[in-house]
Structure 1
């Protein structure tokens, strides 16, 4: 008799658990879509600034533009999306862009996925992560190394460009890349209130 009374309770708890998991999955898909759009918009904005600077003043102007406009673009993109948006890499130019533990693990996962043959152009990863302020949704989108990017991030860099990079970024590690390499990723963290 007791088994009959417990069974409906157990069934209800199981159904509630399934419902909660489905809601979390649905919210994750919504945030992944929002993340894709925010990452693409952020990258397009940065690319536009860099190409304009390069066209106006060459590679040295692009270095200055990247140094000045990248943080501004990240701040504006973050405000527009309602999330924290930044770029990071396994080999950063600016120490302020160093990956946290989750980003580091995701970048290493991206490198392994690329080594296994997956294309960087569509590579992404998103997950719910427990953090100091609660559970948040985190997303990363891989950034493939482009041909023009080799002027500042490649294996062979012009002496004047190297000198400017050393002046602005004495701890620079973001060189030695070839087109098609994993340059880094856009990282997006949604606030816990979005869940």
Structure 2
């Protein structure tokens, strides 16, 4: 009888933890994900109005400003990362993020839709619980203007990318591939 009681307690604790994780994931999505269409919209507007070269400062400066503003508003660490970085100082994933991105690549290769790839978990950092969340960002048409096959980018764009990003590894994408991810760290 005692074993059944302990098993029931463990099961209810597991259910409660799963519900907590679902609530954390839902709240994180609701607050963090709206930044992605804002960034894409700014990029698209700039490309249409001023050309692809003019969009470089949007991606380099304005998108990170939006992320910093959202971080300040929520108290969370929010950033974009990629396995193929354009800006290594800002976009290099940590070990947890790199592992999730690698898993996303496997899941996408097995047929999962890139736009649905996400995960979240509670981890311990410096002895404190932190909720980690990551959502894949698929390469869309506006992304491919600068992140497509390097040999398809026009010369002025290649020159500006080389000037702004001397260590650029973020080309060669095709539509729908995982360009990177939005990642969130929430202290609990």
1:123 and 1:141 in contact (8 A); partners too: yes
2:16 corresponds to: 23
User: Counterparts in 2 of 1:11-90, with a 5 A limit?
Assistant: 17-90=10-83
Q: What is the CA deviation profile of residues 38-92 of structure 1, one whole-angstrom value per residue up to 9, with x for unaligned ones?
A: 3421102211221232233111111111111121111112223332111111101
Q: SS of the residue aligned with 1:93? A: coil
- Measure, in 2, the Cα distance between the counterparts of 1:150 and 1:92: 15
Distance 2:46 2:126 in 1: 39
Equivalent residues of 1:39, 1:141 under 8 A apart: no
Task: Name the residue aligned to 1:109.
Answer: 103
Aligned with 2:167 (options 146, 165, 171) = 171
1:157 aligns with 2:182: no
Structure 1 unaligned runs (5+)? 1-6
Q: CA deviation at 1:139?
A: 1.0
Q: 1:120, 1:152 → 2: CA distance?
A: 20
Q: How many residues are treated as equivalent by the alignment?
A: 185
Please state whether the residue corresponding to 1:183 is helix, strand or coil: strand
CA RMSD between the two structures: 1.9
Q: Which runs of no fewer than 5 residues in structure 2 stay unpaired?
A: none
After superposition, the Cα gap between the structure-2 partners of 1:105 and 1:161, relative to the gap in structure 1 and judged at 3 Å, is: same
Mapped contact 1:151–1:158 kept (Cα < 8 A): no
Contact in 2 for aligned 1:89/1:97 (Cα 8 Å): yes
**After superposition, where does 1:136-147 map in structure 2 within 5 Å?**
136-147=130-141
Shift of 1:148: 2.3
- Give the TM-score, by structure 2 length: 0.89
* Contact 2:86–2:170 (Cα < 8 Å) also in 1: yes
1:175 is paired with a residue whose SS is coil
> Does residue 129 in structure 1 map to residue 123 in structure 2?
yes
**Length-normalised TM-score, structure 1:** 0.86
Change (3 A) 1:49 1:22: same
SS of 2:175's partner is: coil
Alpha-carbon distance in 2 for matches of 1:145, 1:130: 32
Structure 1 76/133 Cα, relative in aligned 2: closer, same or farther at 3 Å? farther
